[in-house]
């Protein structure tokens, strides 16, 4: 399979899907197409996702409640919200990775460019070529070289000449902004790279099979600020050609990299739901809902060092009700501690006061 299978060892859900032969299923041609260009004004861009009435269950537990969301092509959509509100779960449903969890069950509809991805005729392996994924921890295949990591997914899709594989490897590594750093050591093991380089290698691996959509689940949370900056710059470049959905705990990062933001939280039953979605600039400057008190100083790197875990508090104040809270229940913006580093601040349950 394709996907940039990265994996958080702690989560059984994020185990790489088995590499298996790809059936020639309708959703996508098996030969990688040349790099896409930005579609002309008015043209229908590939990679549009329509989610309607999405409910996700793990056994009897409902993790996501009735989420409807439109994800624009050629844009970066940030999913933000407190820990446990279902961000990763939501992301995994977009390429049916949730099916790797035996107890997971989905209701509702997800359409990619109008195609129902849940339809029985859609091969999930093929789907994951089109909707690639990059996880929190970079996970190059440990026994493979840098070159072979990049073309691993491609090798499964049919016969490709060595020259063709070399060409795709170089093109993907260039697109992932890693080529210059690795071109002289393509036979070195993928795990010999730094964390940030490994993450870009995983992005290159996803790009090699020519996806339309790239899902990123906290792709920079394990990286230092410099590597984080590189990934953010890369996202800005990739959005020219791909639909990008990124889960981040970092409000500053969401403000910096995304065009659209979807703010999730959860109710008393712990089921995550969508609070608000819209253009990032509107969400951060003129939110219609609970985010109204959240402030992000300047959404630009590296000046915007002010960050906020405010939504973690918001979530707490929201627990048990889905109506808008009175503003008095929302504490004032907390100033960052001196140890706060732009790009690496992470809100989590443990960060809650």
Ligand X SMILES: Nc1ncnc2c1ncn2[C@@H]1O[C@H](COP(=O)(O)OP(=O)(O)OP(=O)(O)O)[C@@H](O)[C@H]1O
* Binding positions for ligand X, rule: CB under 6 A: 13, 58, 61, 63, 83-89, 101, 103, 270
Identify which of 241, 229, 67 has the alpha carbon closest to the alpha carbon of residue 171.
241
First vs last C-alpha separation in the chain: 42
Of the two residues 13 and 165, which places its CB atom closer to ligand X in the complex? 13
Shortest Cβ 127–Mg ion spacing (Å): 21
Shortest Cβ 349–Mg ion spacing (Å): 12
Of the two residues 279 and 346, which places its CB atom closer to Mg ion in the complex? 346
CB under 5 A: which stretch of 35-43, 45-53, 81-89, 312-320 binds Mg ion? 81-89
88 in contact with Mg ion (CB under 5 A) = yes
Of the two residues 169 and 254, which places its CB atom closer to Mg ion in the complex? 254
CB under 5 A: which stretch of 83-91, 96-104, 118-126, 298-306 binds Mg ion? 83-91
Q: Alpha-carbon distance 156 to 139, whole Å?
A: 18
Q: Alpha-carbon distance 241 to 11, whole Å?
A: 30
Q: Alpha-carbon distance 331 to 311, whole Å?
A: 10
Of the two residues 270 and 295, which places its CB atom closer to ligand X in the complex? 270
CB under 5 A: which stretch of 7-15, 85-93, 292-300, 301-309 binds Mg ion? 85-93
Residues whose CB is less than 8 angstroms from the CB of residue 307 and which lie 6 or more positions away in sequence, other chains included: 250, 251, 252, 296, 336, 340, 342, 345
Question: Tokens for 80?
Answer: 């933000």
Of the two residues 113 and 217, which places its CB atom closer to Mg ion in the complex? 217
Of the two residues 13 and 144, which places its CB atom closer to ligand X in the complex? 13
- In sign, the C-alpha dihedral spanning 238, 136, 165, 178 is positive
Of the two residues 104 and 182, which places its CB atom closer to ligand X in the complex? 104
Question: Tokens for 87?
Answer: 């961000």
Three-class DSSP category at 167: helix
**Partner from Mg ion, ligand X, none binding residue 333, C-beta < 5-8 Å depending on class:** none
**Partner from Mg ion, ligand X, none binding residue 261, C-beta < 5-8 Å depending on class:** none
Q: Which residue is nearest to Mg ion (CB)?
A: 88
Shortest Cβ 45–ligand X spacing (Å): 27
Tell me the chain's radius of gyration from C-alpha atoms.
20
CA dihedral of 126, 128, 130, 132, whole degrees rounded to 10: -160
Shortest Cβ 294–ligand X spacing (Å): 17
Site string (290-309) toward Mg ion, x via CB under 5 A? --------------------
Q: Alpha-carbon distance 319 to 50, whole Å?
A: 27
Identify which of 291, 341, 337 has the alpha carbon closest to the alpha carbon of residue 78.
291
Beta bridge pairs of residue 134? 216
Shortest Cβ 349–ligand X spacing (Å): 7
**Partner from ligand X, Mg ion, none binding residue 89, C-beta < 5-8 Å depending on class:** ligand X
DSSP state of 115: E
Shortest Cβ 105–ligand X spacing (Å): 11
Q: Alpha-carbon distance 261 to 282, whole Å?
A: 9
Shortest Cβ 271–ligand X spacing (Å): 8
Shortest Cβ 61–ligand X spacing (Å): 6
Identify which of 103, 130, 194, 117 has the alpha carbon closest to the alpha carbon of residue 1.
130
Of the two residues 267 and 325, which places its CB atom closer to ligand X in the complex? 267
Residues of this chain that bind Mg ion (CB under 5 A): 88
């Amino acid at each position: 399979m394709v996907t940039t299978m990265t994996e958080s060892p702690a989560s059984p859900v994020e185990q790489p899907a088995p590499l298996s032969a790809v059936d020639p299923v309708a959703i996508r041609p098996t030969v990688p197409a040349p790099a896409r260009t930005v579609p002309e004004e008015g043209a229908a861009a590939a990679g549009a996702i329509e989610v309607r009435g999405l409910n996700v269950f793990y056994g009897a537990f409902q993790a996501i409640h009735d989420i409807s969301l439109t994800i624009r092509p050629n844009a970066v959509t940030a999913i933000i919200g407190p820990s446990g509100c279902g961000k990763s779960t939501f992301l995994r449903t977009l390429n049916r990775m949730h099916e790797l969890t035996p107890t997971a069950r989905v209701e509702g509809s997800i359409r990619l460019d109008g195609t129902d991805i849940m339809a029985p005729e859609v091969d999930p392996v093929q789907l994951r070529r089109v909707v690639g994924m990059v996880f929190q921890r970079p996970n190059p295949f440990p026994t493979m070289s840098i070159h072979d990591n990049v073309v691993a997914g491609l090798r499964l899709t049919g016969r490709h000449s060595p020259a063709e594989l070399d060409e795709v490897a170089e093109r993907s590594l260039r697109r992932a902004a890693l080529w210059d750093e690795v071109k002289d050591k393509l036979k070195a093991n993928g795990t010999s790279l730094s964390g940030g380089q490994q993450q870009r290698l995983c992005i290159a691996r996803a790009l090699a099979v020519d996806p339309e959509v790239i899902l990123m689940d906290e792709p920079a949370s394990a990286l230092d600020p410099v590597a984080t900056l590189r990934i953010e710059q890369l996202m800005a470049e990739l959005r020219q050609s791909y639909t990008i959905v990124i889960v981040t705990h970092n409000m500053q990062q969401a403000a910096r990299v995304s065009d659209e933001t979807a703010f999730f939280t959860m109710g008393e039953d712990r089921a995550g739901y969508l609070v608000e979605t819209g253009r990032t600039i509107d969400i951060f400057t003129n939110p219609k809902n609970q985010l109204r008190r959240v402030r992000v100083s300047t959404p630009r790197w590296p000046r915007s060092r002010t960050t906020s875990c405010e939504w973690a508090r918001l979530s707490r104040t929201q627990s048990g009700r889905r109506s808008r809270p009175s503003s008095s229940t929302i504490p004032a913006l907390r100033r960052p501690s001196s140890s706060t580093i732009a790009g690496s601040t992470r809100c989590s349950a443990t960060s809650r006061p």
